[in-house]
Structures are given as C-alpha cells and as structure tokens.
Structure 1
C-alpha cells in the first residue's frame, strides 16, 4: 500500500514546536516528531482533484512551437 505523506503543517516539517524563541522544543504531536504525516481524507481528495485537472489541461508547448508562434507573430507585425 502506498503511504501518502505531506510535510507537517503544524510544525512546518521540523518535527518539533519552537517554544519561547528557543531553537528546539517539544516534539510535534501531529507528526510524532518526524516532520511528515499522512494526508487526511480532505487533503487526498484535493490532491486527486488537482491531479485530474492537470491531466485534463493542455499538453506542454515545445520550444519549437513557441519559436514558430513568435516567428508567426513577427511576420504579422511586418504586414
């Protein structure tokens, strides 16, 4: 089974909570001090939705296509 993890937003991936401006503090309870935690159901749904939107979007444009479009625009300006 794949374990979907994200950087813990509670401790910003540090694994501990800074207290009183000290460089270290107590371990983060959300991620148990690892800095990473499993995604919850809402985060998994949002990630799946973003992935589906990315898959349905237009394919990336190649450099040749960009150069050709720029050349065509330049030719239009000359007319």
Structure 2
C-alpha cells in the first residue's frame, strides 16, 4: 500500500471519528435540552439555571471579578 493510500485511510478514519463524536454531542445536547424542559415543567426558570451552570464553571476568582465589574457598571448606570 502506498503512502498516499495510508494517509487517505487515516484521514477517512479521523473524519469518521469526528462524525461519530458530533452525533454523540448532538445526543447529549438533546438530553440537556430535555432536562431544562423538565425543570421548566417543575416551575424552575431555565434561563437562570443556565446562568448558574455557567457561573459554576468559572473559577471563584474570575466569578468574583466579574461580579465586581457588574456592580460597578450597574452603579454607573444608576441601576443599583
């Protein structure tokens, strides 16, 4: 087998792996969407839940810095 065929086979395998992972990602995305719909049906606010998930992913220092800047901006706009 020539190097060109080996490279083509390797490329094809990589593309197929990416395609499988994309399908899995879509499935997981659908599962997450279902959980938010379930939460909404139970009276929770999905928009707020998404914000909480985003905040929990942040490092504590980064979150504190963001909150401090937000407070500064709110105060500057007279919204505090």
Length-normalised TM-score, structure 1: 0.29
Whichever structure has more strand as a proportion of its residues is 1
Q: Which has the higher helix share?
A: 2
Greater length-normalized contact order (CA 8 Å, ≥ 6 residues apart): 1
